[in-house]
Amino acid sequence: MEPTMKGKTVLVTGATRGIGLVTARELARMGGQVTIVSRSAEKCAATAEALSTAVGNPVEFIAADLSTLGGIMQAAAEFKQRHTRLHVLVNNAGAFFTRRRLTADGYEMTFALDHLNYFLLTNLLLETLKTSVPARVVNVSSGAHEGAKELDFDNLQGEKKYRAWEAYDRAKLCNLLFTYELARRLAGTGVTANAVHPGFVATGFARNNGFFYNVGTWVAGKLFGRKPEEGARTSLYLAASPEVEGVSGKYFFDSQPIQSSPLSHDEALGSRLWQVSLELTARTH
């Protein structure tokens, strides 16, 4: 029997395409009160309308640039103005950048969007999650985290040397360190935190880096990629399944817990990353 999300309030980021879109659609189909977040107001509005029509259940949207601290604060504030409860937060928004770019706050784009976004949005919504227990945080990470062999805090944002895949691997490692540290801090609260490896999914991911890179990514996706529906399956499992009620601090692939890299389980590293992330987002607290 399909899980029900009736009476549950859900927030899904990066939900105008790919696995985020499928995740939002299916959670709304299960009866959840879903709000999607993405940068483009036009895309958000069109997606929310299409989803509402497709599933027969109203889907809301918030347009916000989650690569910036101001955008994350805006998204959290708008959500809390509308809702007093949040049962499921799916941190899904992310991107890959072949060249080093800085956000409006002066932070490296991959680190800001793929890690600081998860960290800050979750913390800004933490009290709402705690008042809604049982509640769940689902962080979309990647098997790419295994490519990060260290976390050099002197080169956390590619200040000394920027290589695109190293930056992405590092950000996905940060997702796991954050998830595990969050789970430790939430122990006993009724809020769980788990991470997902969706696999290589044929979406628009990484197709924001120029013509030749876009074509190569598209071809690879067609040849080897999973469909978004398959990539979203584990996010949906962690968001909705009664089988994982109370399960926290785990990393899942194909709806099964698996081992992440030894580095991702370094508690001292996770604690230090938390503190550094707090300092980088301090102006918002």
Distance CA 257, CA 217 (A): 28
Distance CA 173, CA 78 (A): 29
Pairing label, strands 251-253, 256-258? antiparallel
148 in Cβ contact with 235 (< 8 Å): no
Q: Positive or negative, the Cα torsion across 158, 13, 240, 229? A: negative
Distance CA 137, CA 165 (A): 26
Dig out the tokens for 11 from the structure.
Answer: 């927030």
Instruction: Select which of 107, 118, 168, 180 is catalytic.
Output: 168
CA proximity to 147, closest of 133, 129, 164, 161: 164
First to last CA, the chain: 42
The answer to whether 168 is a known catalytic residue is: yes
Which amino acid is it at 142?
S
Tell me, rounded to whole angstroms, the distance of Cα 233 from its chain centroid: 15
User: Order of strands across the sheet with 191-196?
Assistant: 60-63, 33-38, 9-13, 88-91, 135-140, 191-196, 251-253, 256-258
- Just list the catalytic residues: 168
